[in-house]
A and B are shown apart, each in its own frame.
Chain A
Amino acid sequence: MELILIFISAAIVNNFVLAYFLGICPFIGVSNKLSSAFPMGLATTFVMLLTAIVTWLIYHLILVPYDVVYLQYVSFILVVASLVQFVEMFIKKVSQPLYRALGIFLPLITTNCAILGLALFIVLKDYSFVQAIFYGLGAGAGFTLAISIMAGIREELELANVPRAFQGAPITLIVAGLLALAFMGFAGMISV
């Protein structure tokens, strides 16, 4: 039960994008089409899950026992970068069409602050291994949800008559603000 609560909390109540402002760059950059936003969300979720597992192991089996916690930022970011590289190679080997569809977006996942943020939050909240996995899955689901909703809205927005000065980033930010207001309705539902 507690694990489900962690999942829902990370996915909806404390949504990474709309409540913690993590992963804004892809959220604004890749959200103009649903067909690219959804796979991007899935790839990010996958990397998040792996990151949660690997960084938890590194933190608790290497950094803490050897008393080198001050290396956590350097080691975490290296883990994320190499994981993304690994996922890229793996997808290229397994499914060429998927690789071509995601192509440019894959390397960009490294600089997605949601990934490193996830690793830091797991340390901060002192989660156990299983909790960390569910937290990672929830955060990924939340990111996928947010970026897909955003892409859906922006596809409609293309048909709307937006003032010239507000085209592009400004209107996207305002829409994101309204989305964040909507997600605030979940606030206080669960406190984990």
Chain B
Amino acid sequence: MKKQVSLFTEYTKGLWDQNPVFKQVLGMCPALAVTVSAMNGIAMALATTFVLTFSSLIISLIRKLIPTQVRIASYIVIIATFVTVVDLVMRAQFPELSKELGPYIPLIVVNCLILGRQEAFSSKNTPLRAVLDALGMGTGFMIALASLGGIREILGSRTLLGVQVMPDAFDPWLVMILPAGAFLTLGLMMGGLNQMVLRKKTREERELAARHLQKPKMSLEHGQEA
């Protein structure tokens, strides 16, 4: 195993380097299904973060008590318990939001992001690290869902968080709020982000190569001067 990383990186790695949606391609079902508007995306991400954080905490606390053969089943029961809590709270406090998200709140149970973090991280690390990791992943999930929902909401219904941002002359793109729009937007976003990363990498490589080329030259010049 690698050396222990700092607590800060434990949190920040989920934001970008290991962003659950863009980099790990986990938790796609809710990411695509509920992001008709930015608000829905944020609510979904908050619910997911809550479940992720608390199940990570519990699982990390009892990680030495769970027999390996039945670990997946135990994780799922713990996750399902917290999802039930979220579902009941949302139904009582935010009935409209709960109706709009519909069956996708209970479906947090099978969000591969949550089970994946338990299997890959919480079951091997201390509670503090597990919680930080969960919060980071949750924030990364929120960044992805909010941006995806924002883009779809602006283009599909001219609004952002319910406030009109596009002029009336702009015809809403109906396709953006339909299922097809979700696939297309996320595909293009991921492709665009990959393009950015690739370009940065090639630029760094080129700079490195240029520096390597310069060095012998400079020593040669020095040699000539001497």
Contact = CB atoms under 8 A, between A and B. Distances in A.
Interface stretch (A33-41, A93-101, A109-117, A135-143): A109-117
B111 to A, nearest CB: 8
Contact of A18 (B103, B110, B179): B179
Interface stretch (A4-12, A48-56, A73-81): A73-81
Given A21-B33, A116-B106, A170 B175 contact: no
A115 B103 CA distance: 12
B132 interface: no
A174 interface: yes
B194 A165 contact: yes
Contacts of A73: 80, 83-84, 87, 106, 109
B146 interface: no
A74 B192 CA distance: 39
Contacts of B102: 124
Contacts of A169: 25, 187, 190
Given A78-B73, A180-B179, A25 B188 contact: no
B89 interface: no
A120 B103 contact: yes
A115 to B, nearest CB: 8
A181 interface: yes
B66 interface: no
B160 interface: no
B107 A173 contact: no
A interface SS class? helix
B59 interface: no
B118 to A, nearest CB: 12
Interface residues of B, number: 43
Nearest to B183: A177
B177 interface: no
Interface string B64-91: 0000000011001100110110011000
A2 B121 CA distance: 48
A181 B180 contact: yes
Interface of A: 18-25, 28, 70-71, 73-74, 77-78, 81, 110-113, 115-117, 120-121, 124, 163-166, 169-174, 176-178, 180-181, 184
22 contacts: A21-B28, A22-B33, A25-B26, A74-B77, A81-B76, A113-B29, A115-B110, A117-B107, A124-B102, A163-B195, A169-B25, A170-B194, A172-B187, A173-B184, A173-B190, A174-B187, A174-B188, A176-B187, A178-B184, A180-B178, A184-B179, A184-B180
Interface of B: 25-26, 28-30, 32-33, 72-73, 76-77, 80-81, 83-84, 87-88, 102-103, 106-107, 109-112, 115, 175, 178-184, 186-188, 190-192, 194-195, 198
